[in-house]
Structure 1
């Protein structure tokens, strides 16, 4: 039993990137699916596939690398809000990752979104992680 499934998700992706793997498999949950969709929309991963035939379901993520230099698109994954210490921010104090080059994923009352989307909607929430 994993006590922090989001940290487990980020660690699996981080380890796969460090080992130059092409595909990583992660146990599925609704929040992990939403994080995967955000990573795909922002261009940090190449593709993803949800396989819900098994219990628990599996998320297969194809990691993205530069075609010539083989540098990964994801350079840093950092968990911010942990089960022991939650970090909430208001709409006026949303974080900026690498001065706008990275993203922060927030859990808001309107679902998971990036810091830029939350800034345009003027809503705050729980900061889950930083990705650059």
Structure 2
């Protein structure tokens, strides 16, 4: 692949780590700040959640229901053009159902598609996460 743009892989990875850090803190405003206005979350919890308005409605309920104690590991970063790139990650740890207090081991794989905004910030345009069943 010929590359006629500056490599900003570190910035892509930094955006994903900002998201992960905010997610582990259950910090809804900080989570939303990492998304593009038209960002989409595709998770095993149901249909795709499209746009910041819907995301702002979903994340508080998720954080009210589950406490996540996870460690993310970036496994691949690839900038595909001047304003698009992706990051793959694997996350492991525990999650606790707040209603029951039950804690279980949890593993997820994530794929983030990022787009550079008009201000030059990399933002999550699409995010797909899949929980890996316990062995």
Q: Quick check: TM above 0.5?
A: no
TM-score by length of 1: 0.38
Structure showing greater relative contact order (alpha-carbon pairs closer than 8 Å, 6 or more residues apart): 2
The structure with the greater share of residues assigned to strand is: 2
